[in-house]
């Protein structure tokens, strides 16, 4: 059978059902939610933010009363005992000395650049200085300050801190807003938000009406959103001469930003930190290998032995100790490391900063060093979790009740967060395992020891092969300096760099800006939806413009998925995608899930893809974990359907109060499942608010249909597709751009002796040595043909070409026309206004 009759009837059914709804719903669903905003250049745009003055005396009176009210509240707090205590803490921060200079510079200039060491009080104090001075001047009700943060967690924690410093609840004069979440009241004057949120706001309100100050924080990180925002703001400043822009940066490359804004004044806040001693690998091996073995001996010989005895033993065992140091080297997998090949970092295996070495250092500090928290910089969530598991009951760390082991990463919840900032009780050693987010945006005050593994997971992008890579790579000198500085907050500290000095010397000064190392699809979509003109022209105005080939790839991708038409104009789908705060591919799945009434399972899949994999793969129980996962997939050849079933099973178990046990039995992370659960809810509200779904029941009439779910997964993940050829002993997988590719071993498809489908769609490919595909779902020819991408100017031929040109059955006479008609109809449905 060339086209399975099943497919025909299914697709037919869906199409008929939806086409009949189409005319009825055309006027409202899924509608374009964007109000038309005045162009930046029109006069209205400029005047409207003067609105309060135009509302006449009554409104002016109200605003004035409000401003006085704000002033009274502020004064009351400042005069209260608690307020004064807080004031004392605040005035001790280095930023305080520069308060007047900062406010003065802001009043005299449209743009200023502020730099200062992390922890000097930029983020918590500067926005507050502005707010306080506006309130003092009885302009409180007129000001609106937005301060952007690159990460959700810092926006939330900083807002909370600033509200506390002002003796208020979050949502009074200080609030925050991050993706899908926020606390913000009607009278909130100072809003901490992620950079993404401000960009989204610009989508609806291009002149930032009513906003008086924009503060862009952590610009030294050169995140893509920040670089993008700077291009937009640079243009906006021309049309809003009274809008103030303050750029804040931790390290000292302020000149770059200053010159981008025509030589804006720079203000540096000299910081105060205690001296920090640095140790590099060569010192560490000597110290820990040496002293750890010495310490073990002391243990063996019993604590009561005198120092003299110990010294003697040490001397006697010198040779043994030397070999212990060698063991430490071996256990750290550093055998390949040859100090003579200084020119090449490749002899140093990226994964070789083994847990053993970190463990050794931690044990050394816990047993031999003075009190103080330890901050360990690791590459990512997975590593943090596995090390945490491993350390939980580590004998060398000593009494487990005396160690407080915490993880700090972007997706931790707020209760975990509080623990990180809290100083533990006397005698308890706090160890925080963190990603590089603890480098600048979060300050843990009681840190005395820093352990720096020298790496960070960094996305990079290979434009030639159009392949994103996510690899732990060496940090920059600036980052190493930052990490080190975290140890000197409260007293002199120590920093253990787990790499040799010469490796440090070969680090780049600064990290490459994200704009130059990531795929640009979401960004290009935003440029289009903000009507910023030609994508290439716009991006050429960036601080450091991306390569034209990367830009071209992104535009091509958006055309393939149907978000842009052949002439680079935003399509209806493109517009709908641009209001959803998820990647275009995930947004497309959500929209199709809504159109095809199988929203519930699609929301689960999308939430799973945006949070992280809930399937745990403990190192020592990998086989068990893999077979647990395989059970969920059954014969479906789909990681996404496996996730869906695992989640549904968990929900059912939760209702029976056995969720925990269910997770334990099936190697699932309850934390991740809960995160998926909450994200799902947020997706639903989002789709409802943007008018794409109305009643939940109605959007789920086809939720049981796994065939359809598979098709929608394909629609989102396409053109992430590889062909499958089953060989006698193996399966050969190929993508158009990369040729042969491999599957990660934890994919259910990696376990199969054969895959009875011609294609796999995948969410992500990662170049390590070979190209590896993460989660995948097997799909049939017909699904790829109908749901893969949009038929564009190239027509059917072009579409086929894109699919690799070898959909054989398609060549049978007569089928082409039928399919093309069906495909066109489907494309139209997706683009429905």
**CB-nearer residue toward ligand CDP: 125 or 690:** 125
Residue selected from 37, 123, 522, 578 as contacting Mg ion according to rule CB under 5 A: 123
String of contacts with ligand CDP for each residue 69-108, x by CB under 6 A: ------------------------x---------------
Which residue number is nearest to Mg ion in terms of Cβ? 123
> Cα(117)–Cα(269) distance, rounded to whole angstroms?
7
Which letter does DSSP use for residue 426 in this model? T
Measured from the CB atom, the residue of 90 and 833 that comes closer to Mg ion is 90
What is the closest distance, in whole angstroms, from the C-beta atom of residue 385 to ligand CDP in the complex?
Answer: 24
Residues 461-490 that bind ligand CDP (CB under 6 A): none
Using rule CB under 5 A, residue 225 touches Mg ion: no
Backbone angles phi, psi at 433, to 5 degrees: -95, 120
Alpha-helical runs (H) found in 210-306: 224-239, 254-260, 281-284, 290-301
120 touching ligand CDP, by CB under 6 A: yes
Stretch 627-656 residues interacting with ligand CDP (CB under 6 A): none
Contact between 511 and Mg ion by CB under 5 A: the answer reads no
Given Mg ion, ligand CDP, none, residue 485, with its beta carbon under 5 to 8 Å by kind, binds none
Q: Does 258 bind Mg ion (CB under 5 A)?
A: no
Residues 750-758: contacts with CB under 8 Å, at least 24 apart: 751/626, 751/630, 752/637, 754/726, 755/637, 755/724, 755/726, 755/731, 756/637, 756/726, 757/637, 757/724, 758/723, 758/724
Euclidean distance between CA atoms 66 and 58, whole angstroms: 12
Closer to Mg ion by CB, 147 or 572: give it: 147
Q: Which is nearer to Mg ion, 123 or 633 (CB)?
A: 123
Stretch that binds ligand CDP, among 112-120, 280-288, 611-619, 726-734 (CB under 6 A): 112-120
> Smallest gap, in angstroms, from Cβ of residue 459 to Mg ion?
23
Pairing state between β 244-249 and 373-377: unpaired
Position 148 contacts Mg ion (CB under 5 A): no
Question: Does 149 help bind Mg ion (rule: CB under 5 A)?
Answer: no
Residue 288 touches which of Mg ion, ligand CDP, none (CB < 5 to 8 A by kind)? Answer: none
Kind and range of the H or E run holding 203: helix 195-204
Q: Are 16 and 580 in contact (CB under 8 A)?
A: no
251 binds Mg ion (CB under 5 A): no
| Region label for 397, one of left (φ > 0), alpha (ψ between -120 and 50) or beta (otherwise) | alpha
Rounded to an integer, what distance in angstroms lies between the CA atom of residue 639 and that of residue 613? Answer: 10
DSSP 451-498: EE-SEEEEEEEETTTTEEEEEEEE--HHHHHHHHHGGGSSS-EEEEES
For Mg ion, which is the closer residue by CB, 123 or 225?
Answer: 123
93 binds, among ligand CDP, Mg ion, none (CB under 5 to 8 A by kind): ligand CDP
Q: Which of 29, 272, 421, 502 binds ligand CDP (CB under 6 A)?
A: 421
> Least distance from C-beta 214 to Mg ion, angstroms?
16
Secondary structure string (H, E, C) spanning 729-786: CCEEEEECCCEEEEECCCCHHHCCCCCCCCEEEECCEEECCCEEECCEEEECHHHHHH
Three-state SS for 429?
strand
Query: Judged by CB under 6 A, which of 49, 67, 115, 123 binds ligand CDP?
Result: 123
Q: Which does 124 bind (CB under 5 to 8 A by kind): ligand CDP, Mg ion, none?
A: ligand CDP
Is residue 121 close enough to count as binding ligand CDP by CB under 6 A?
A: yes
Is 96 or 239 the residue whose CB approaches ligand CDP more closely?
96
> Is residue 289 packed enough to be buried (19+ CB in 10 Å), middle (13-18) or exposed (0-12)?
buried
Q: Which of 121, 127, 105 lies closest to 250, judged by CA?
A: 121
Of 518, 409, 527, whose CA–CA distance to 460 is shortest?
518
**Residue in 116, 140, 485, 519 binding ligand CDP, rule: CB under 6 A:** 116
Q: Per-residue string for binding with ligand CDP, 436-455, x by CB under 6 A? A: -------x-x----------
Compute the least distance from the CB of residue 478 to Mg ion, in Å: 15
DSSP per-residue letters across 275-292: -EEEE-HHHHIIIIIHHH
Which range touches ligand CDP (CB under 6 A), out of 72-80, 116-124, 168-176, 781-789?
A: 116-124
Asked if residues 742 and 733 have their Cβ atoms less than 8 Å apart, the reply is: yes
Task: Say whether residue 161 binds ligand CDP (CB under 6 A).
Answer: yes
Is 122 near ligand CDP (CB under 6 A)? yes
Look at phi and psi of residue 16 and say left if phi exceeds 0, alpha if psi is from -120 to 50, else beta. Answer: alpha
Q: Which is nearer to ligand CDP, 489 or 710 (CB)?
A: 489
**Contact set with ligand CDP (CB under 6 A):** 93, 116, 118-125, 157-158, 161, 421, 443, 445
**Contact set with Mg ion (CB under 5 A):** 122-123
């Amino acid at each position: 059978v060339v086209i399975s009759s099943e497919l025909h009837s299914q697709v037919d059914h869906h199409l008929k059902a939806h086409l009949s709804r189409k005319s009825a719903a055309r006027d409202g669903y899924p509608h374009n939610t964007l109000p038309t905003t005045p162009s930046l250049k029109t006069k209205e745009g400029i005047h409207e933010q003067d609105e309060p003055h135009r509302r006449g005396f009554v409104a002016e009176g109200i605003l004035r009363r409000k401003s006085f009210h704000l002033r009274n509240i502020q004064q009351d707090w400042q005069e209260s005992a608690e307020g004064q205590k807080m004031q004392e803490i605040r005035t001790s921060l280095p930023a305080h000395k520069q308060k007047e200079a900062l406010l003065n510079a802001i009043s005299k200039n449209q743009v200023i650049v502020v730099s200062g060491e992390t922890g000097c009080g930029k983020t918590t104090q500067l926005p507050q200085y502005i707010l306080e001075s506006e309130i003092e001047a009885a302009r409180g009700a007129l000001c609106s300050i937005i301060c952007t943060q690159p990460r959700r967690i810092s926006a939330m924690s900083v807002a909370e801190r600033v509200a506390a410093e002002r003796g208020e609840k979050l949502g009074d004069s200080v609030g925050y807003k991050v993706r899908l979440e926020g606390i913000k009241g009607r009278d909130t004057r100072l809003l901490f938000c992620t950079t993404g949120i401000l960009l989204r706001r610009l989508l609806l309100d291009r002149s930032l009406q009513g906003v008086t100050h924009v503060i862009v924080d952590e610009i030294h990180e050169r995140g893509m959103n920040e670089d993008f925002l700077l291009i937009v703001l640079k243009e906006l400043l021309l049309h809003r001469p009274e809008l103030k822009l303050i750029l804040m940066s931790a390290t000292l490359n302020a000149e770059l930003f200053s010159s981008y804004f025509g030589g804006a004044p720079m203000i540096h806040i000299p910081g105060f930190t205690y001296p920090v001693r640095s140790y590099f690998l060569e010192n560490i091996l000597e110290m820990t290998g040496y002293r750890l073995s010495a310490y073990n001996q002391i243990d063996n010989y019993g604590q009561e032995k005198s120092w003299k005895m110990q010294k003697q033993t040490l001397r006697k065992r010198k040779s043994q100790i030397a070999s212990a140091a060698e063991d430490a080297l071996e256990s750290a997998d550093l055998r390949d490391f040859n100090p003579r090949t200084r020119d090449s970092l490749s002899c140093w295996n990226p994964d070789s900063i083994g847990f053993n070495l970190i463990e050794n250092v931690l044990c050394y500090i816990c047993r031999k060093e003075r009190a103080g928290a330890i901050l360990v910089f690791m590459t990512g969530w997975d590593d943090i979790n596995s090390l945490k598991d491993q350390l939980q009951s580590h004998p060398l760390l000593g009494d487990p009740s005396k160690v407080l082991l915490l993880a700090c990463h972007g997706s931790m919840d707020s209760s975990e967060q509080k623990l990180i900032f809290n100083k533990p009780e006397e005698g308890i050693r706090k160890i925080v395992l963190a990603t590089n987010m603890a480098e600048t945006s979060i300050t843990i005050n009681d840190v005395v020891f820093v352990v720096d593994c020298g790496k960070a997971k960094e996305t990079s992008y290979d434009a030639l092969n159009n392949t994103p890579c996510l690899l732990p790579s060496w940090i920059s000198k600036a980052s190493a300096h930052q990490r080190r500085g975290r140890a000197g907050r409260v007293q002199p500290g120590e920093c253990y760099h787990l790499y040799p000095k010469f490796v440090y010397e070969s680090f780049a000064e600064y990290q490459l800006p994200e704009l130059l190392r990531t795929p640009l699809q979401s960004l290009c979509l935003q440029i289009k939806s903000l009507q910023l003109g030609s994508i290439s022209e716009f991006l050429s105005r960036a601080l450091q413009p991306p390569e034209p080939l990367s830009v071209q790839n992104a535009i091509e991708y958006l055309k393939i998925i149907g978000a842009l038409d052949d002439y680079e104009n935003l399509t209806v789908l493109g517009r709908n995608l641009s209001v959803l705060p998820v990647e275009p591919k995930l947004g497309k799945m959500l929209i199709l899930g809504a159109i095809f009434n199988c929203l519930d399972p699609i929301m689960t899949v999308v939430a799973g893809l945006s949070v992280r994999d809930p399937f745990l793969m403990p190192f020592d129980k990998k086989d068990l974990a893999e077979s647990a996962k395989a059970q969920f997939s059954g014969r479906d050849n789909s990681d996404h359907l496996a996730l869906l079933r695992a989640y549904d099973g968990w929900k059912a178990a939760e209702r029976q109060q056995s969720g925990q046990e269910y997770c334990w039995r099936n190697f699932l992370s309850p934390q991740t499942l809960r995160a998926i659960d909450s994200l799902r809810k947020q997706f639903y509200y989002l789709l409802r608010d943007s008018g794409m779904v109305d009643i939940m029941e109605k959007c789920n009439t086809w939720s049981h249909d796994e065939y359809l779910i598979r098709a929608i997964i394909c629609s989102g993940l396409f053109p992430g597709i590889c062909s499958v050829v089953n060989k006698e002993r193996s399966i050969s997988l190929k993508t158009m751009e990369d040729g042969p590719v491999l599957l990660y071993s934890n994919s259910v498809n990696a376990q199969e002796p054969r895959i009875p489908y011609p294609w796999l769609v995948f969410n992500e490919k990662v170049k390590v040595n070979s190209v590896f595909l993460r989660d995948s779902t097997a799909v049939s020819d017909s699904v790829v043909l109908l749901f893969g991408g949009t038929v564009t100017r190239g027509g059917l031929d072009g579409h086929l070409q894109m699919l690799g040109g070898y959909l054989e059955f398609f060549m049978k006479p007569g089928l082409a026309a039928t399919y093309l008609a069906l495909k066109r109809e489907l494309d139209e449905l997706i683009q429905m206004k």
